[in-house]
Amino acid sequence: MIPNHADFSDMLARWARERPTGIAINFGDTHRSWAELAERVQRVAAGLRAAGLQPNDRIAVLDLNHPSCLELTLACAQTGCANAVVNFRLAPPEIAYVINDSKARILFVGPEFAGAVEQLRTHLPAVERVIRIGGADDEFEAWVAAHAPDANVHPAKGGDCFVQLYTSGTTGFPKGAMLTHHGMLAHARNVAVSQTMDGASRVQVAMPLFHVGGTSYALVAWSAGAPIYMMRMPDPAAALAMLDREKITHTFYVPALMAAMTQVPGADKHDYSSLQALSYGASPMPLPVMRACLKLFPKGTMQQVYGMTEESGVVTILGPEDHEDPAVAHRLVSAGKVIHGVEIEIRDPATGAVMPTGQSGEIWVRSEQVMGGYWGKPEATEAALTPDGWYRSGDGGHMDADGYVYVTDRIKDMIISGGENIYPAEIERVLAEHPALADVAVIGVPDDRWGEAPKAIVVLKPEAKVDQVELLTWCRERLAGYKLPKSVEIVAELPRNPTGKILKRELRKPYWEGRERQVV
């Protein structure tokens, strides 16, 4: 059970007061107590205020996982600012777009990305200062130490945004989901109830902090008073070793990582008996991988979760009993049932009417977890959020008579590859600029490792000549690696309806026939 925290500053103050010497975070050789974490957050808050940041201003973090990112997030909660955590897997132009869109005044950057930021610096007009984190040129620790702790707390309202995570956009550019005190605390309470997380839990944070599976999951643990054990990168062998060494009780992975775990030599030699909840989601779980994981990990631990950044994280869970009971094996392709505090309805995407049980439509979600909107994009916010609190997910699916949600398609054509959201429009925007192409469509096709992968289908201009290698090279120079099409097919024309819209369902059909398409 999570206490009724007023906001995230209140949460931190509570644990620093009640458990001052208890460990809050473990990261490599770094072990910080709640009292030490609270003092550092107050110093970081003082540094932000000394730099002239005001409530509603943004900072940005471009780094692999590091405690400083969460310290900055909590300092933003204390000062009324917001931390825009940048997806480090993006290509340089995309990174610049996110930083500029957030209007971040200070950019905190890890050693792996310092060179890229130097090259981008002239393209980041809003950034007043860059502070390096970690490595031989670390500036962050000196910056923290230079400021005396500032205990003043901005009077946060529940709807105030303190962390901003970017989602891919249907227009080809990411959107900043404004996650609020009220929404993130509601998510923490709801998930903690569903997964019996409390102060005695030991929570592994393996996923990147730019993802809700990283930052949001970490804040669920902290809201419960549980220590987190953070990994810099989600390394399969190291993650398995940590489960054993640190006696982890709760963790979250994406299926691609779990697939790699099943191939780690000696994976079955570790002791995983402390595990209580091994959650997975964000992309389809191939059944062979699921079977291997059910054999590797303790009985009663695996839980599939389905969620979205706009809802601060998880909205449904498929529990252990549905993984292990042969009588309900058909539920393995479902996303489970709604968690505490969440409503889901299947609506007609055109009219908004509620669909009968078992019939497909768009998945609508309503809960207190919902984002405050998309930063700087009122039209996109209005399109996604209804006046009575429903979030239109853009995912297609149905709900059975027992309340299990089946996510079977994406109304917005989103591709989920290895846990990462990819919108075809992002790739199409890049390919459309190639001088040899007259038309382009990108679809998701099955992939045994990543669940699905982008495939480009293109039409050449008259007498133009180009091959797959050249087109993939073109994309590689302009897109993050995980967004690259895995293949390119050249066709005479693309199928269209009478109004000219490309019929992507027709393009996908040959690849998905005989498969139960699933999004988790």
| pLDDT attached to residue 518 | 47
| pLDDT attached to residue 499 | 53
In-domain check, residue 468: yes
Residue 70 to residue 6: CA distance in whole angstroms:
19
Confidence class of residue 407 from pLDDT cuts 50, 70 and 90? Answer: confident
Instruction: Sort 388 into a burial class: Cβ within 10 Å, 0-12 / 13-18 / 19+.
Output: exposed
Residue 431, pLDDT above cutoff 60 = yes
Confidence class of residue 175 from pLDDT cuts 50, 70 and 90? Answer: very high
Kindly state the DSSP code that residue 364 receives in the 8-state scheme.
E
Percent share of the chain, pLDDT over 90:
79
| pLDDT attached to residue 519 | 44
Confidence class of residue 74 from pLDDT cuts 50, 70 and 90? Answer: very high
Residue 424, pLDDT above cutoff 90 = no
Average pLDDT over residues 145-151: 98
Residue 421, pLDDT above cutoff 80 = no
pLDDT, tens digit, 9 for 90 and up, residues 478-505:
999 999 999 999 999 999 865 567 888 8
pLDDT, tens digit, 9 for 90 and up, residues 352-391:
999 999 998 999 999 999 999 999 999 999 999 999 999 9
In-domain check, residue 472: yes
Selected residue with higher pLDDT from 163 and 361? 163
- Which of these ranges, 28-37, 69-78, 362-371, 448-457, has the smallest mean pLDDT? 448-457
Residue 397 to residue 412: CA distance in whole angstroms:
13
Residue 171, pLDDT above cutoff 60 = no
Hey, what are 453's tokens?
């992968």
The closest alpha carbon to 390, from 345, 341, 339, belongs to: 345
In-domain check, residue 52: no
Residue 110, pLDDT above cutoff 80 = yes
How many Cβ atoms are within 10 Å of 118's Cβ, its own excluded?
Answer: 11
Average pLDDT over residues 302-323: 96
Residue with tokens 């239109």: 392
Residue 117, pLDDT above cutoff 70 = yes
Hey, what are 277's tokens?
């909840």
In-domain check, residue 203: no
Residue 47 to residue 53: CA distance in whole angstroms:
9
| pLDDT attached to residue 279 | 97
Hey, what are 112's tokens?
């792996």
In-domain check, residue 56: no
Residue 347, pLDDT above cutoff 60 = yes
Residue 71, pLDDT above cutoff 70 = yes
For 117, residues 6+ apart whose C-beta sits below 8 A from its C-beta are 62, 107, 109, 124, 130
Residue 115, pLDDT above cutoff 80 = yes
Instruction: Sort 463 into a burial class: Cβ within 10 Å, 0-12 / 13-18 / 19+.
Output: exposed
| pLDDT attached to residue 520 | 37
Selected residue with higher pLDDT from 288 and 135? 135
| pLDDT attached to residue 286 | 75
The CA-atom distances, in angstroms, between 191 and each of 74, 279, 315 are 20, 11, 9
Domain count, the chain: 1
Confidence class of residue 170 from pLDDT cuts 50, 70 and 90? Answer: very low
Residue 30 to residue 113: CA distance in whole angstroms:
22
| pLDDT attached to residue 448 | 86
The closest alpha carbon to 47, from 26, 24, 25, 78, belongs to: 78
Give residue 470's domain range: 415-512
Q: What is the CATH number of the domain that holds 474?
A: 3.30.300.30
Residue 72, SS3? helix
| pLDDT attached to residue 381 | 97
| pLDDT attached to residue 173 | 77
| pLDDT attached to residue 456 | 96
The CA-atom distances, in angstroms, between 415 and each of 48, 131, 374, 421, 518 are 38, 34, 20, 6, 11
In-domain check, residue 427: yes
In-domain check, residue 273: no
Residue 253 to residue 261: CA distance in whole angstroms:
10
Amino acid at 513: E
The closest alpha carbon to 518, from 252, 364, 332, belongs to: 332
Report the mean per-residue pLDDT for the chain.
93
Residue 432 to residue 508: CA distance in whole angstroms:
20
In-domain check, residue 60: no
Confidence class of residue 415 from pLDDT cuts 50, 70 and 90? Answer: confident
